[in-house]
Structure 1
Amino acid sequence: MNVGKIFALSPRERAFQLKARRDAGTDNPRWRAPEFFTCKKCERRATRQIWASTLYVCPNCGYHHPVGGYYRLSMVLDHGTFRELDGELEGRNVLAFPGYEEKLEKQRAKTGLNDAVVTAYGKIGGVPAVVAVLDSRFFMGSMGTAVGEKITRAVEYATNKHLPLIIFSASGGARMQEGIFSLMQMAKTSAAIQRFQSKGGLYISYLTHPTTGGVTASFASLGDITLAEPDALIGFAGPRVIEQTIGEKLPKGFQRAEYLLDHGFVDKVVPRGEMKQTLTQLLQLHTQGRKRGA
């Protein structure tokens, strides 16, 4: 999907597409010198426009680079259906942690985000759904009070509207500057997911690189269906920490998406180019099944 070729239908859609192009790094006027992007794995180098055309999947080695929240939403949502939820919510320095407010402001200026998650209502293959995307560019997608609150509100919106829920996780874990308030979000989001599922809601958890720490130990692991991007790092503690703790060498590929697929933690590893098609199939199957059941 080339977001640069989409014509907005409304001011809201136009603003969304501008944010998606900014996330993809393709929002510069054409007269400017092209900006280059280098693959972190094989060091292939090309313009950002070329990388955007491949959805930031390296055409040389297949490495799936992390992408911004609005850009990912532009890949999966049907054109013209995006409606952001709770976009004004932002993190606060709840513990008066030294220097945290300044760091928050720098992150907002750098990414254009209020915090590390974007939540939205939209349609995927014609099926209405609620979608949340954690953005690893903002404090490594760490979960603080604002992230926990936005995720919880998105789940509750899906519950009240009887809509499927999809959460794309990408996180380094809990945000240390918010201490126990950050850790409380694990229980808060998990409880909201449990209430949603107890009412028959479909929750698809989509794990991207990296998904670790408190996010893995809470809502990311609670999906009715769990998908993952190729080679995504998924786990609680990192492999080096585990090796140092147990004093043993871990198996090759440990905590990668393919390893977790082989061991039953993930239902399917889905390349980014197949992401919308896979979600469309799952959502349409779910809604058709509900209609037959009714």
Structure 2
Amino acid sequence: MFKELFRKQRKYATIPSEQAKKEIPEGIMQKCPSCGTILIAKELEKNLKVCKSCGYHFPMSAPERIGSIVDVGRFFEYDAELLSEDPLSFPDYTKKLKQDQEKTKLNEAVVTGEGTIGGYPAVIGVMDSRFRMGSMGSVVGEKIARAAERATTKRYPFILFCASGGARMQEGVLSLMQMAKTSAALEKMNREKVLFVSVLTNPTTGGVSASFASLGDINIAEPGALIGFAGRRVIEQTVRQKLPDDFQTAEFLLKHGQLDMVVSRLELRDTLIKILEFHA
């Protein structure tokens, strides 16, 4: 017993062998980029990909977002067959589209359809930043415009989750035209007094933030979301001023009247149900 008590302690750390490393499956743990906390992946998914330590909102895919918001088994997709072309013969564009389709199992950067949320019917659109950074090409604009038109016809509220790096450069001016097309479809909704709720997630930038993302009757954002048109450096060089540290965050925009509310993902479904109930 005494021999064990006074035995000499090792001064070196044991490094796991390569074999031991291989036996640990990838994706079990995930590190929060905000606070550095190591999180168990399954627990993170149960918490809707929100860090329990600091509240950081990890990106969500379109299927994950639909699963967290829409009633189970009550989502019916629109226009899944629409595929992007290569109108400008841009180098490697077709190849990159196929790579993203294989990686995400989606045909484009937005999923649209209709379903119920808390029993209330709605047309729903969800952008997915995994596909070409959620950039807005012709198909993305077309799907959103068609969803708005269906919402107008059915008189269902339209809820759109935005996540985008802006217009898709590989389609040139055709991508910029989607700003006008989607805005016109939303203006028709407005004239018909059909509710449009825009939910801005991280990031929502460029031509998307300058068009349909900012045109909601109610504009909601997730905490800490980056929302803006041009980048910080470009704006600082243009105005020749240092911008606030929280510039282009959801909280900054809320403080300056460009958002109606900032809502945690954990409370978002309940918030949307209350809005739909109020406007039913």
Q: TM-score, normalised by structure 2?
A: 0.89
- Alignment match of 1:109 (pick from 77, 102, 110): 102
**Counterpart AA for 2:245:** K
- 3-state SS of 1:227 partner: strand
**Structure 2: how far apart are the matches of 1:43 and 1:143?**
32
- Alignment match of 1:275 (pick from 263, 268, 272): 268
1:220-231 matches, within 5 Å, as 220-231=213-224
**Structure 2: how far apart are the matches of 1:70 and 1:244?**
39
**Structure 1: how far apart are the matches of 2:25 and 2:248?**
40
| CA-to-aligned-CA distance 1:50-82 (integer Å, 9 cap, x gap) | 210111111122111110011101111111211
**Structure 2: how far apart are the matches of 1:82 and 1:223?**
22
**Structure 2: how far apart are the matches of 1:50 and 1:127?**
29
- Alignment match of 2:251 (pick from 245, 258, 263): 258
Give the unaligned 5+ runs of structure 2.
1-22
Q: How much identity, in percent, do the aligned residues show? A: 54
1:204 deviates by 0.4
* Residues 159 and 201 in structure 1, CA contact (< 8 A), matched pair in contact too: yes
Q: Is 2:181 the counterpart of 1:197? A: no
- What is residue 121 of structure 2 aligned with on the other side? 128
**Counterpart AA for 2:186:** I
**Counterpart AA for 1:33:** P
**Counterpart AA for 1:39:** C
**Structure 2: how far apart are the matches of 1:115 and 1:283?**
28
| CA-to-aligned-CA distance 1:61-105 (integer Å, 9 cap, x gap) | 211111001110111111121111111112111111111000101
Give the unaligned 5+ runs of structure 1.
1-30, 288-294
| CA-to-aligned-CA distance 1:98-128 (integer Å, 9 cap, x gap) | 1100010111111111110011100011110
- What is residue 19 of structure 2 aligned with on the other side? none
| CA-to-aligned-CA distance 1:152-208 (integer Å, 9 cap, x gap) | 111111111110001111110000000000000000000000011110100001110
Structure number with bigger Rg: 2
**Counterpart AA for 2:108:** D
**Structure 2: how far apart are the matches of 1:56 and 1:243?**
33
1:44 deviates by 2.3
Q: TM-score, normalised by structure 1?
A: 0.85
- What is residue 49 of structure 2 aligned with on the other side? 56
- How many residue pairs get aligned? The number is 257
Q: Is 2:143 the counterpart of 1:150? A: yes
* Residues 34 and 47 in structure 1, CA contact (< 8 A), matched pair in contact too: no
| CA-to-aligned-CA distance 1:229-287 (integer Å, 9 cap, x gap) | 00101111111221122221002311110111111100000000001000000000001
* Residues 165 and 202 in structure 1, CA contact (< 8 A), matched pair in contact too: yes
